[in-house]
Structure 1
Amino acid sequence: MKKRILLCFMAILGLSIACKEEGKADYLPESVGAMNTLTVVIDNELWKSSVGDAIRENYTAAAQGLTWDEALFSVTQVPQQIFSGSIRNTSSVLYVMEDSLNVAHMKSNMYSKPQNIGVIKGRNKQELIDNINKTSAEFIKDFKTLEISKAQKRFEKSLNKEKALVDKFKISMKIPSIYRVGREEDNFVWISREIQKGNMNIIAYTMPENGFHNDSTFARDIIRMRDSIGNLYIKGSDVAGKNNHMITEKAFTPYVFPAEVSGKKAAEVRGIWEMSAYPMAGPFLTYIINDKENNRKLILEGFVFAPATKKRDYMFELEAILKSVQFNVEEKK
């Protein structure tokens, strides 16, 4: 009997603690911070030392697939005594300090929501550096995932309601209303928006499920696929005697990574596009998604044209849109 009462008491206590934690999360303020920004909380002297060098090497490394070098994150450093008030509500935080412990882990929703705080402690500079290097890939992924979800939530405030993607491919994406469908073909949709010095673009099309046969030629096959689509649908200004269309930049082999989009296996491709007969270029991001339920590969691509302009955040917005794809969507009557 006593044992049963004790078990009941422990269950009630656990439920009470869980409710308190849930209640705390409910009352947290909304996190703040511009896209792709990281607040690094670290002592000024450590920031100027080899520890700060390790942080900069990992978190301000050049983002892949852009036309010029842009850092993964725009970093703001603050010492621990300044980390208070609204600064604590920043969505992405890296907290680094010397301590009696040697630990590194990610915490969520401590001061605001959604929020990720990567905590790195060490008993000396070398332990801090080791922990920074060891955790950077995982932490960067967590920070980026949070920023993607924040962007997608922001898109929901005003979504594009055009039905081209549903009609052609039975898919939907969280596309802001500022984007407009510009071209529709049997197996091709082009959606774009104007920006200050150019435009941002999304294209969608499909390929047969067995469209890529050999891993050893995968990169070349991707280039061939992109160039053929450019030749069919993405034409440039007329150039006398030449067929001017979008191609994959010849001097730059695209980066290819395994990925997962909407629960489906995919390949992520980042690279540079250019026009075949005219000096125009910009970054692109392509997802080749294995849509086995529909016996096809779905190709989603975002690309930017914005001369003499930083493009990291533009490409990040396109990534957030592409990753919001949902499959087998039926048009609402």
Structure 2
Amino acid sequence: MKIIYALAFSLLLFTSCNNGKGQRIISGSNGNINSLLIVVDNLLWEDSVGETIRDVVAASVPELTQSEPLFSLSQMPPTVFDGFATKSRTILKIEKGGPAGMVIKHDVYARPQTVVVISGKTDQEISEQLINNGDEIIAAFKKEELKENQRRIKISLVDDKPLQETLGVKLNFQTAYRIAKQDNDFFWIRKDLPTGTMDILVYEVPLNTIKNGDSTIVDIVRMRDSIGKVHIPGPVEGSYMITEESYTPYMNETKLDGKLTYETKGIWDVKNAFMSGPFINYAIEDVANDRYVVIEGYVFAPSVEKRNNIFELEAIIKSIRIL
């Protein structure tokens, strides 16, 4: 019997170290969404290198109604970077002494995990690497966090059959959300917060609603303001959601579900009422059906941080598939 137990233990140990394909099995990563571990010597952290790190990865998130950092940072020196700490999902390591460079690694100590290593012989070289590669560093960490957010969302999904049958789109959103309003080809999906709500709008407009060119952002603002007037009433009679008139939204061309998409970020307001907050709007070009599928997320949560709320909405929106 002891021999059987020994053989079983040996087999378990072997399969734990090897998955049969020559690859090691590593434990799962951990960490809150948008939390970033910085592994850097204390002296560097307290000097110009630390200042540059904070300028790059803790810069304020644009298009929010209050200042919030891109990532919440925690720091530790390399001498204590061991054990549980190595399981953080996103890690920025600073290595002084080697040639200047930046390397992005995946699943080094845990899975899933993104580790960015910045090296340089001097403080100045390290800072230059951080600044020159800042956009790529942020994009790598954001990609990892988006995947993690979507993984968590999939744990408890709402049946999106009404969206599929009415608009021909599939969307992953969790059971904390509910379809608050359905009006023909318009859906209003809501999640209650202790201090407000998180909202998702899904609808379609004719393809000629948004023209590609100098008027694109004007067309998008006009479109969302008209939708707000019809479907999103404010707290008093005659009030409704509009785009903040004194703040020009940010617009970018991207792709969702492999289709040309206009990504717009800005501040929403309520006409004739004191309410506002951040929004993200995606207009997806669906040429086959002569339409734009528009999906927007916005947050109303006065006096509280909204970075992670908007990021969750972005993760939901980017799961959309046109059937």
TM-score if structure 1 supplies the norm length?
Answer: 0.89
Q: What corresponds to 1:19 in structure 2?
A: 21
2:286 maps to 1:291: yes
Q: What corresponds to 1:43 in structure 2?
A: 41
User: In 1, Cα distance between the equivalents of 2:56 and 2:213?
Assistant: 30
Gaps of 5+ in 1: 1-15, 329-333
Residue pair 2:28, 2:110 contacting (<8 A) in 1 also:
yes
> 1:291 offset after TM fit, Å?
1.8
User: In 2, Cα distance between the equivalents of 1:258 and 1:33?
Assistant: 31
Q: What corresponds to 1:78 in structure 2?
A: 76
Residue pair 1:287, 1:300 contacting (<8 A) in 2 also:
yes
2:186 maps to 1:188: yes
User: In 1, Cα distance between the equivalents of 2:166 and 2:139?
Assistant: 32
Residue pair 1:164, 1:181 contacting (<8 A) in 2 also:
no
> 1:214 offset after TM fit, Å?
4.8
| Among 304, 309, 316, the residue aligned to 1:309 | 304
Q: What corresponds to 2:274 in structure 1?
A: 279
Aligned residue runs from structure 1 range 89-168, under 5 A: 89-168=87-166
Q: What corresponds to 1:222 in structure 2?
A: 220
Residue pair 1:271, 1:285 contacting (<8 A) in 2 also:
yes
> 1:162 offset after TM fit, Å?
4.0
User: In 2, Cα distance between the equivalents of 1:324 and 1:162?
Assistant: 12
Report the 3-state secondary structure (helix = DSSP H, G, I; strand = E; otherwise coil) of the residue aligned with 2:309.
helix
Residue pair 1:36, 1:72 contacting (<8 A) in 2 also:
yes
Deviating beyond 4 angstroms after TM superposition, the runs of 4 or more aligned structure 1 residues are none
Q: What corresponds to 1:11 in structure 2?
A: none
Gaps of 5+ in 2: 1-17
2:266 maps to 1:264: no
User: In 2, Cα distance between the equivalents of 1:238 and 1:102?
Assistant: 59
Q: What corresponds to 2:3 in structure 1?
A: none
Q: What's the % identity of the aligned pairs? A: 35
> 1:88 offset after TM fit, Å?
0.5
> 1:101 offset after TM fit, Å?
2.0
> 1:164 offset after TM fit, Å?
2.1
TM-score if structure 2 supplies the norm length?
Answer: 0.92
User: In 2, Cα distance between the equivalents of 1:200 and 1:244?
Assistant: 19
Residue pair 1:104, 1:118 contacting (<8 A) in 2 also:
yes
User: In 2, Cα distance between the equivalents of 1:100 and 1:153?
Assistant: 37
User: In 1, Cα distance between the equivalents of 2:158 and 2:41?
Assistant: 45
Report the 3-state secondary structure (helix = DSSP H, G, I; strand = E; otherwise coil) of the residue aligned with 1:130.
helix
Report the 3-state secondary structure (helix = DSSP H, G, I; strand = E; otherwise coil) of the residue aligned with 2:31.
coil
| Among 239, 242, 267, the residue aligned to 1:247 | 242
Q: 1:103 corresponds to which letter in structure 2?
A: G
User: In 2, Cα distance between the equivalents of 1:35 and 1:225?
Assistant: 32
Q: 2:243 corresponds to which letter in structure 1?
A: T
CA RMSD of aligned residues (A): 1.5
